Amino acid sequence: MRKRSWLGLAALLAASFLLSCLCGRYPLTLSDLLEILSGQAAGTMKENVFWNIRAARTCVTALCGGALSLAGFAYQGLFRNPLVSPDVLGVSGGASVGAICAILFWGGSAAALQLFSFAGGIVTVALSLLLARAIGGNRYFNLIVSGIILGALANAAIMALKYMADPTQELAVIDYWLMGSFHLAGWDKFWSAAPPILAAGAVLILLRYRLKVLTLGDEEAAALGVAVVPVRLICIVCATVLTAASVSVSGIVSWVGLIVPHLVRSVLGDDFEANLFQSILCGASLLLLADTLARSLLPSEIPISILTSLIGALFLAAFLLCRGRGERTC
């Protein structure tokens, strides 16, 4: 069963990757792809579309999908709450404030958007951690409350900045960024986002046993020899970096980090270490499929968060209804 699940996830990711490379306004066929990879299509339009647009976008999308899912999995394990999402500490709100500032005051260049959104997410989470420490008491409760407070402040800042924006130009750019899209994803964004994502992801993977022990509770983890406070802080920082780096290249992508760990645990079974890697594969596949639909369903591209929110909300509703029906049966 476990071997079949891994093969199924690998096949799903490969199929999602292939569809993402082939589908779009300039469709490619399998024969076109073989010609491109063999070098027979050198200098043609389809080679340019594949290498400079389609392949770059596919790699960025898969990278962000895996990163958001891993961040959601880590946060859900840390807080021992399956309804926690990667933006629980306000990282998405902070990234949005940074991106809007880049649009309003620095011309909205791609580099400024990525830099300011990443910095905004990191600063917001740092403030959440400082506020939670200053409050004292239950650490997990304080972290969630601090995230809610900073998220509310970020939303207030977003509304104030949107009120200041030029409604004929800047406001549309801001709204589109807040809905998320990979339409500007290129190799430059991939190479700028990949180092922090891969580094933070590698640290979480190396700490997976300690993260698993933390799900038992602080006292049990300490009794098993885990340095609770440092490990928790490192995991929060790494999950924040994953989320901030992903949001900085795509805008806000809703529900992926919340739903994918649920989907993995409910379908493939509750095995913490296996679920961590399965969440990465499933998250990359889900976001690739959503992005392929976003640029294929209509003549104009649909913002990615519309589709991920629709898929996520329907799945969560179905999951809760099935669980409630099962409990009533018992």
Q: What is the pLDDT of residues 284-322, one digit of tens each?
A: 999 999 999 999 888 888 999 999 999 888 887 887 787
Provide the 8-state DSSP code for 136. Answer: -
What local confidence, expressed as pLDDT, does residue 86 receive? 85
- Spell out where the chain has E strands: none
What local confidence, expressed as pLDDT, does residue 157 receive? 96
pLDDT band of residue 123 (cuts 50, 70, 90) is: very high
Token pair for residue 268?
Answer: 């493939």
Task: Flag whether pLDDT at 259 surpasses 60.
Answer: yes
Task: Flag whether pLDDT at 45 surpasses 60.
Answer: yes
Q: 27-41, 56-70, 256-270, 300-314: which has the highest mean pLDDT? A: 56-70
* Cα separations in angstroms, 183 against 61, 186, 278, 282: 10, 9, 27, 22
Cβ neighbours of residue 173 under 8 Å, at least 6 residues apart?
Answer: 103, 108
What local confidence, expressed as pLDDT, does residue 322 receive? 78
Residues 160-181 have a mean pLDDT of 91
What local confidence, expressed as pLDDT, does residue 131 receive? 92
What local confidence, expressed as pLDDT, does residue 326 receive? 61
Burial class (CB in 10 A: 0-12, 13-18, 19+), 257: buried
Q: Which helix (H) or strand (E) holds 101?
A: helix 91-105
Residues 76-102 have a mean pLDDT of 89
Residues 145-162 have a mean pLDDT of 94
What local confidence, expressed as pLDDT, does residue 328 receive? 57
Cβ neighbours of residue 145 under 8 Å, at least 6 residues apart?
Answer: 132, 135
Q: What one-character-per-residue DSSP string does 100-134 give? A: HHHHHHSTT-HHHHHHHHHHHHHHHHHHHHHHHHH
pLDDT band of residue 245 (cuts 50, 70, 90) is: very high
Task: Map tokens 């990443």 to a residue.
Answer: 118
For residues 317 and 29, give the distance between their C-alpha atoms in angstroms, rounded to a whole number. 37
Do residues 213 and 221 lie in contact, with contact meaning Cβ atoms separated by under 8 Å?
yes
For residues 140 and 137, give the distance between their C-alpha atoms in angstroms, rounded to a whole number. 9
Rg (Cα) of the chain, in Å, rounded?
Answer: 20
What local confidence, expressed as pLDDT, does residue 195 receive? 95
Q: What is the mean pLDDT of the chain?
A: 89
For residues 12 and 299, give the distance between their C-alpha atoms in angstroms, rounded to a whole number. 26
Residues 81-98 have a mean pLDDT of 89
Task: Flag whether pLDDT at 158 surpasses 80.
Answer: yes
**40-44, 154-158, 180-184: the lowest-pLDDT one:** 40-44
Q: What is the CATH number of domain 2-318?
A: 1.10.3470.10
pLDDT band of residue 1 (cuts 50, 70, 90) is: low
Give the Cα-Cα-Cα angle 183, 276, 278 (nearest 5 degrees).
65
pLDDT band of residue 330 (cuts 50, 70, 90) is: very low
**82-86, 103-107, 147-151: the lowest-pLDDT one:** 82-86
Give me the amino acid identity at 236: I
Task: Flag whether pLDDT at 58 surpasses 60.
Answer: yes
Task: Flag whether pLDDT at 216 surpasses 90.
Answer: no
